[in-house]
Amino acid sequence: MGKVTVPSVRARKVRSGADPIVMVTAYDAPGARIADEAGVDIILVGDSVAMVVLGHDSTLEVSVDEMVHHTAAVARSGARSLIVADMPWLSYHLSVEDTVRNAAALVRAGAGAVKLEGGAKRVPMVSAIVDAEIPVMGHLGLTPQSVHAMGGFKVQGREQGAADVLVEHALALQEAGCFSLVLEGIPSEVGRIVTSAVDIPTIGIGAGPDCDGQVLVFHDVLGIEDRITPRFVRRYANLKSDAVAALEAWANDVRTGGFPAAQESYHLPPGIETDHYPEDPGATIGLYGAAAPTEESRTA
C-alpha cells in the first residue's frame, strides 16, 4: 500500500462509495508506528497532546515549537498514513505571515497537512496557507481551543438553526480550499446535514455515524487515559491497567530477587579469574556499573 495522500483523502466521500476515513491521534514515533501498522488513513498530531501527554487542563498551553517536536517524532516513524499536524492556539490568529510561517514549520517537521479550528472567520488564513501549497483540514463544532468562549467543553449546535450556521461555515471552509473537515461534539443529525452539504469529507468525533470518517484520541481508544471517558469514546483496550499490572509484576520480581535471572545478565568468559575478589552475594555489578540494592539498603 502506498502513502496516503491529500487528494486521495479529498476524494473519500462515503456517498460516492468510498470507505469511511479512519484517523487517530499520535504524538510520538512508537504511537505512530502502532497507528500505521493498524492501517489508519490519517495520523493527527493533535494539540490534544497538551492534555493527554503533557498534563495540561486544556489544549491552549501547547506551543508551535512543541507541536513541531511531536510532529517530527511522528514523521520519523516513516508512517504511510497521512500526517496532519494541529496548528496550536494563537498560531493562526495574529497575522497571515505568522500563520503561513507556523504552518510551514509543521510541514518542515514532517506533516503533510495542517488542521486549524474555526469557521468563516478563518477563511483568510486558510486561503493563505493553501496558497503556500499547504493542505488544510478544517475543524468545526466543539472547537477545544474556544473552551473559554464556549464556557467549557460543551456539545455545540443544539439550538434551532444551528445546522444552517454550521453548513455556512463548512461551505466557507470548503470554498477557501480545505480538503476535509473535522466535526466535533455536535448532534448526529447536524453531523449528517453538514456532511451531505459539502463535497469534502467530514471526519467526526462525537458527531454521529453519518460523517465520512471518524477520529478518536489514541489514549482514549487504547485506555491509556482512563480518568474521563466522554460519551463518544469506545475503548478497545485497557493499556493503562495492563501497564500498571506489568510494572507491579516487574517491581515485585526486583524486590524478591527474581529479576534479573542468569539469562538476563552478562557473564565473564570462561577462564577469567575472579577468585581474588571478596565474596559479596548481596552486591552484583549492574549493566551501568551501579551496585544493585541489597536487602538492607532497600529497607533502610
Binding string, residues 192-211; x marks residues near ligand KIV by CB under 6 A = -------------x------
Pick the stretch among 43-51, 120-128, 165-173, 255-263 that binds ligand KIV (CB under 6 A): 43-51
Quick note: the x/- pattern for ligand KIV over 123-152, rule CB under 6 A, is: ------------------------------
Cβ proximity to ligand KIV, 24 vs 251, nearer residue: 24
Q: Assign 141 to helix, strand or coil.
A: strand
**Shortest distance, position 162 Cβ to ligand KIV, whole Å:** 20
Which among 46-54, 74-82, 118-126, 259-267 is the span making contact with ligand KIV, rule CB under 6 A? 46-54
> Quick check: 156 binds ligand KIV (CB under 6 A)?
no
93 versus 254: smaller Cβ distance to ligand KIV: 93
Number of residues that bind ligand KIV (CB under 6 A): 11
Nearest to 213 by CA among 5, 11, 3: 11
E strand residue ranges, 107-172 = 113-115, 136-141
We find the least distance from the C-beta atom of residue 142 to ligand KIV, in angstroms, to be 9
Is the four-CA dihedral 103, 104, 107, 108 of positive or negative sign? negative
Q: What b/e string do you get for 67-91 counting C-beta neighbours within 10 Å, with b at 16 or more?
A: bbbbbbbbbebebebbbbbbbbbeb
Q: Is 86 in the site for ligand KIV (CB under 6 A)?
A: yes
- Quickly count: other Cβ atoms within 10 Å of residue 131's Cβ: 11
Q: Could you identify the residue written with the cell 496558497?
A: 131
Q: Does 46 bind ligand KIV (CB under 6 A)?
A: yes
Measure the CA dihedral 61/64/66/71, to 10°. Answer: 130
Per DSSP, the residues of 30-88 read HHHHHHHHTT-SEEEE-TTHHHHTS--SSGGG--HHHHHHHHHHHHTTT-SSEEEEEPP
Q: Which of 32, 85, 176, 215 binds ligand KIV (CB under 6 A)?
A: 215
Q: How far apart are CB 145 and ligand KIV at their closest, in Å?
A: 9
Whether 190 and 162 have beta carbons less than 8 Å apart is answered as yes
Our CB check for ligand KIV shows the closer of 176 and 207 to be 207
Angle between helices 162-176 and 188-197 (to 10 degrees): 40
Nearer to ligand KIV, 103 or 217 (CB): 217
- The nearest distance, CB 192 to ligand KIV, in angstroms, is 18
Q: Which residue is nearest to ligand KIV (CB)?
A: 46
Q: Is 71 in the site for ligand KIV (CB under 6 A)?
A: no
Interaction of residue 217 with ligand KIV, rule CB under 6 A: yes
Among 4, 9, 24, 25, binds ligand KIV (CB under 6 A): 25
Pick one of 6, 21, 48, 141: the residue that binds ligand KIV (CB under 6 A): 48
Q: Are 184 and 153 in contact (CB under 8 A)?
A: no
Q: Is 184 a catalytic residue?
A: yes
Indicate which residue of 117, 175, 184, 296 is catalytic. Answer: 184
Q: Which residues of 142-163 are buried (b: 16+ CB within 10 A; e: fewer)?
A: bbbbebeeeeeeebbbeeeebb
Active-site positions read 184
Q: Which residues bind ligand KIV (CB under 6 A)?
A: 25, 44, 46-48, 86, 182, 184, 205, 215, 217
